[in-house]
Amino acid sequence: MIEVNTIPNKNTLNVSKVAISLNSAAEFSMQFSVAGFGKYADAEGNINWGPNPLVSTLLNITGKNWSDWGKTEAQTDEDYIIDLALKQLGLDRAPAEEAPAEEAPAPKKKAAKKKAAPKAEEPAE
């Protein structure tokens, strides 16, 4: 399954995430299931993903879309499928969220080695 965050379009689709999964494949075609989910605020004000898709459709890759696949070397298969699905829905990708910078771990202090106390000589018997 491919998931991508989108920019909700309040005039057409208020979808914040699109999930794409393969349905079937044939010799010169593929069919994907495309579902779009929205966010909602619960009674406590927490933002959650809706449990049911706001839109559910199929993406068929055949003909020109099939023959154009792979023509752009810089574009991955995943990106190509995402772009076709978002174009079909009239949505745009959300900007990639940057992961918060991780703080560098503090250097570990080396424990000072304690010198063993000299052993007391045992009295000779």
- pTM score of the predicted model: 0.70
Residue 41 inside a domain? The answer is yes
Higher-pLDDT residue of 91 and 112 is 91
Q: How many CB atoms lie within 10 A of CB 42?
A: 8
Give the pLDDT of residue 49: 84
Residue 113 inside a domain? The answer is no
Would you list the DSSP string of 24-55? Answer: EEETTEEEEEEEEE-EEE-TTS-EEE-SS-SE
The C-alpha atoms of residue 69 and residue 75 are separated, in whole angstroms, by: 9
Give the pLDDT of residue 85: 95
**Residue-averaged pLDDT of the chain:** 82
Residue 68 inside a domain? The answer is yes
For residue 23, what are the domain limits? 2-91
- What does DSSP say about strands 29-37 and 17-26: parallel, antiparallel, or unpaired? antiparallel
The model's pLDDT over 33-62, given as tens digits with 9 standing for 90+, comes to 999 999 888 888 888 888 899 999 999 999
Query: Could you tell me which of 16, 28, 10, 2 has the C-alpha nearest to residue 82?
Result: 2
Domain tally for the chain? 1
**Which pair of tokens denotes residue 38?**
């929205």
Residue 80 has pLDDT above 70, yes or no: yes
Residue 118 inside a domain? The answer is no
Helical spans, DSSP H, in the chain: 63-68, 77-89
Residue 116 inside a domain? The answer is no
Residue 107 inside a domain? The answer is no
